[in-house]
Amino acid sequence: MSIIIPPDGAAMLKDAIAKVAQPSRRAFLQRSLTLGGLSLLTGCSLDSQESVERALMSVSRFNDRAQGLLFDPNRLAPTYPDSMITRPFPFNAYYEEDEVRHVDGEAWRLELSGLIADRKPWTLRQLQAMPQQSQITRHICVEGWSAIGKWGGVPFSVFLRRIGADLSAKYVGFKCADDYFTSIDMATALHPQTLMALTYDGQPLPPRYGFPMKLRMPTKLGYKNPKHVQAIFVTNTYSGGYWEDQGYNWFGGS
């Protein structure tokens, strides 16, 4: 196989790597890949910026598959005592805090679609009436910081079984009131610590943390934890996500 290296190849690769947001993946590429090595790994001819980015995406998708195979659905993320809770817990989103969406909890309905037997919308009161559990776990951000918070709500696996979701499906997707969207693998959806969070630190979930409901997954990086969730769908079709479609790793394991 011939490898086409453009004259400005080194600069092209450096620019493409800069667009890959997950530190572990970026570090791997920076340490171990040359243009030739990237070409051999992906089978792509690196004769343009577009082809370099396509090759990087191929590596990312390979990483997704590897993380999925290594994921242990029974292994729990560490938990912490109340004394270790980060106060105040940081705000983080793709917009500034003064742009936080304020959702009317009384009017809010959780819409369901896809491979689900009972697709009737759910109210916040109905979710609050379900068995609740809490966890004090670490939120790990792709930007390099972390914080410990206390979340309470409905185990997502319990909810998925309650609505008759097809648990053999590949993906669960989320659409949010702040126009964010993402999707996760079914194994993570069924993990015992994956929570439909309705409270933070024993109080109703504040708007800045995702009222009326956010999905809390301590086994995933922060950008995989959608806030202000207003729709859930179960599917076998890959649906990406807000950041994932811009180059972030889709599996996003922490």
- CA 45 to CA 38: how far, in whole Å? 9
CA distance 231 to 105: 14
What is the architecture of the domain spanning 82-246? Alpha-Beta Complex (3.90)
Give CA–CA dist 118/253, Å, rounded.
Answer: 30
Full-model pTM: 0.78
Rounded to an integer, what distance in angstroms lies between the CA atom of residue 160 and that of residue 114? 12
Closest CA relative to residue 253, chosen from 86, 97, 77: 77
- Please tell me the distance from the alpha carbon of residue 76 to that of residue 203, in angstroms, as a whole number: 24
DSSP 132-199: -EEEEEEEE-TTS-EEEEEEEEEEHHHHHHHTTB-TTSSEEEEEETTS-EEEEEHHHHTSTT-EEEEE
CB atoms within 10 A of CB 133: 13
Domain ranges of the chain: 9-70, 82-246
CA distance 94 to 245: 14
Question: Which residues touch 222 (CB under 8 Å, ≥6 apart)?
Answer: 92, 139, 140, 141, 142
Return the C-alpha torsion angle 43, 41, 186, 216, nearest 10. Answer: -120
> CA 132, 145, 222: angle at the middle one, nearest 5?
40
**Position 146, amino acid:** S
Q: What is the pLDDT along the chain (254 residues), one digit of tens a residue?
A: 444 445 555 555 455 444 444 444 444 444 444 555 555 555 555 566 565 456 555 555 656 665 655 668 789 999 999 999 999 999 999 999 999 999 999 999 999 999 999 999 999 999 999 999 999 999 999 999 999 999 999 999 999 999 999 999 999 999 999 999 999 999 999 999 999 999 999 999 999 999 999 999 999 999 999 999 999 999 999 999 999 999 899 999 98
Q: Name the 3-class secondary structure at 14.
A: helix
Q: What is the pLDDT of residue 254?
A: 80
Structure tokens at 162: 């309650």
